[in-house]
Each structure stands twice: as C-alpha cells, then as structure tokens.
Amino acid sequence: MSVPEIPISQVRIGDGAERLVLEVLRSGHLVQGPMVARLEEAFKEACGTRHAVAVNSGTTAIVAALTALDLGPGDEVITSPFTFAATLNAILEVGATARFVDIDARDYTIDPTALEAAVSERTKAIIPVHLYGQPAAMDDILRIGAKHRVHIVEDAAQALGARVGDRAVGSFGVGCFSLYATKNVTTGEGGVVTTDDDEVADRIRLLRNQGMRARYEYVTPGHNWRLTDLQAAIGIPQMEALASISDARRRNADLLDAGLCDIPGIQVPWRAPGRTHVFHQYTILVHPQTGLSRDELAARLSDEGIATGIYYPRLVHDYECYRDRADVEVDVTPHATRAASQVLSLPVHPGIDADHIERVTQVVRQIVRQ
Ligand SMILES: *Cc1c(COP(=O)(O)O)cnc(C)c1O
C-alpha cells in the first residue's frame, strides 16, 4: 500500500515536545512525575475543572470514571451505539449493563428524546459521546441526568477543546479524554479524567497507583493506570497550542463546507447552534442521490491519493462477540444504522492546507458528477 498524498490524520510533534522529551530522558525520571502534573494542570485549565487525572489511555479513563462512581453489576449505562468499541468495553469491564439508544440524525450524538424515553430505575449513568468533536446536546442531557439522578460520564475522547456555550466538554460530570495518536492532542497513548468531584478524583488517583495513598500504604485494591513523564512531555506543548489546533481544524472545515455544500447528495456536517465543534473528524453523509455508495466514493478518493475514514462502519454492538449477551441491551436505532452506512470522513487535520482542500473538494465534485 502506498502512502496517500493526503492522509486522514497526521502526528505533528514540534521542537517544544522534542526539548521536553529530551529533558525527561536526561533527568532519568521516566515514570509519572512532574511532566504528568504539568499535563494535568493544562487539562484543568482547558476544561475549567477542579481536577484532571492522567491515566494510560482513553479507555482506562472511562473504566476509571465508572469504577470511581461505583458502577457495577445490575447498573445500567445508557450510551450511543455510534461510537468506538472503547465506550462499550469500558461499561462491560466494570460489570455494568450497556443500553443503546438512537442518535440525532443531524449531529450523530445521543438523541435526548430517545435517551429520556429509555431512562429507568436501573439507569445509573449516561455516557454522551461527543462524536467527531461535536459536543452532544448537553443542556438536555444535564436536565435528564438531574431529573433522574444519574451520573454523566462524557466520552470526550474526540472533543478536547469543544464547548457548549462557555462551558468546555469534560466539565459536565466526569470527562474522559484520549491522547491516542490520531486524537487532536496526542501522547501516543494516554488518557485524562476531568471532574469537579473531589472524591471521584481522589479515588481515581488511588486506583491508578495500586490503591496506594502513601508508599506501601494500600487503602483499596488498585491498578497500574499511570501515564509516564515521557508521554506527558509530548502532550504539554500541544496543550499550549490547543486553541490554534482547534482553530486550524475549524478553518479547514469551513473551506471543506464551502467546496462541498452545493454538491447534490453530499451533506456537510451540521454545526449545532451554541456548540463549538473542534472537528476531530470532518464527516459527510453520502446520500443515494449521488448515484454512489459511500464505499464507492471512498474507493475512488483512495485511487486519487485522498485518504478517508469510516467512523464507524457498523454499530458498536453489531459484532458476534456482543450478541446475545444479557449485559448488552439494544433499542431500535434507525438514525445510527443509516449513519453507519453513509458517513465518510475527509481529511481536516492541521497538516493539510487550502490547496489540499481544494483538491479534495474538486475530486469529490468530479466523482459525483460522473
Ligand atoms: C479514541 C476513543 C476512545 C478510547 O481511547 P484510547 O485512548 O484509544 O483508549 C474512546 N472513545 C472514543 C469515542 C474514541 O474515539
């Protein structure tokens, strides 16, 4: 396979990260230490929360959040079926039951009406997924959460820096972020939990370090969920540049919108009023009206050296390993089902410029015209 001319994501590590990583290497202190603390400070600032606790992946962040909230067998967690496997796996890992409700057809995040209809006595938490960098409908979700006294755990893996009004994602309950290589800010692997809840933050700090309060003073059975200073050093300069990273993605999205919005059958991303999208992905819908399937369009773009992504080709629970499980409950989700067959993500990352975008939009136009 040749490398596409225009990739779907690109890791960009600057001089600042190189210097900090070298500093860590020379210090001899490679494990969790002052760099992790600095990264956590940056997350507190970005999210406006009292606490940020770094862990070793976004998946761990969700597991840690659910564990700290005492979720387990018999507890139901409602989420979107249009998400990455980590959301579901984290629910199953703590022994809770996953329940899936439909998404909103326009923003691809959990539909508050479907959510409200599904909440029951057994529901202990809701996990909205801020998909593609667009915040879920948090005003409605907060109202539903408060009314039914259920926890809000945000899967904000794709949405660092996104806001609802003035409020950053990750500040609505317990926020879970990923620092995986393709995410808007990366440390290779890594994750962060953000919260205003002192107790939740304290429990996660304990759990990530074998349940140890002071050296060899174990207060709970724990894990090794620690991030390393080497990893944190990679992320710190990106956190300092977060506003410009998000602006670059939004600018690219604006250019893509302008070049694609009048192509019949191509639906550009919806930007929900009052919510600030950070365009982790720029995702179009390919309607049958184009005369092409989504997969055909993806193949034709690939032939032209333009990489695309399909997030996600199937609903998260639609795999043999999740079928017929008592801890996976599935509602009818027509919007999510349709999205899975029609979404296509185009390159939007800060590694591409206006010329690349011009080429992407021209090629899409040509293919759809033929
Ligand atoms: C990336 C991602 C995760 C998990 O993050 P990892 O760091 O890969 O464990 C969880 N949820 C969503 C929606 C993601 O995109």
DSSP strand E in the chain: where?
51-55, 76-79, 97-100, 123-127, 151-155, 163-164, 167-168, 174-178, 191-195, 212-214, 217-218, 266-267, 275-276, 282-286, 328-330, 343-346
The answer to pTM > 0.95 is yes
283 C-alpha to center of ligand 1: Å?
17
What is the CB neighbour count within 10 angstroms for residue 165?
A: 11
Q: Is 175 in the pocket of ligand 1 (CB under 6 A)?
A: no
**Gyration radius from the chain CA atoms:** 21
How do beta strands 328-330 and 97-100 pair? parallel
Exposed/middle/buried for 198, CB within 10 Å: 0-12, 13-18, 19+?
A: exposed
Q: Is 57 in the pocket of ligand 1 (CB under 6 A)?
A: yes
- Per-residue pLDDT tens over the stretch 220-271: 999 999 999 999 999 999 999 999 999 999 999 999 999 999 999 999 999 9
From first to last of its 370 residues, what are the pLDDT tens digits of the chain? 567 899 999 998 999 999 999 999 999 999 999 999 999 999 999 999 999 999 999 999 999 999 999 999 999 999 999 999 999 999 999 999 999 999 999 999 999 999 999 999 999 999 999 999 999 999 999 999 999 999 999 999 999 999 999 999 999 999 999 999 999 999 999 999 999 999 999 999 999 999 999 999 999 999 999 999 999 999 999 999 999 999 999 999 999 999 999 999 999 999 999 999 999 999 999 999 999 999 999 999 999 999 999 999 999 999 999 999 999 999 899 999 999 999 999 999 999 999 999 999 999 999 998 7
203 C-alpha to center of ligand 1: Å?
22
Q: Is 184 in the pocket of ligand 1 (CB under 6 A)?
A: no
156 C-alpha to center of ligand 1: Å?
8
Q: Whose CA is nearest to atom 2 of ligand 1?
A: 157
Q: Is 79 in the pocket of ligand 1 (CB under 6 A)?
A: no
Residue 320 carries which DSSP code?
Answer: G
Q: Determine the residue of 91, 180, 182 to mutate for testing ligand 1's pocket, defined as the one with the most ligand atoms within 8 A of the Cβ atom.
A: 180
318 C-alpha to center of ligand 1: Å?
18
- Per-residue pLDDT tens over the stretch 32-90: 999 999 999 999 999 999 999 999 999 999 999 999 999 999 999 999 999 999 999 99
316 C-alpha to center of ligand 1: Å?
13
What is the CB neighbour count within 10 angstroms for residue 17?
A: 17
Cβ-proximal residues to 190 (8 Å cutoff; 6+ apart), any chain: 54, 55, 56, 57, 58, 178, 179, 180, 227, 231, 232, 235
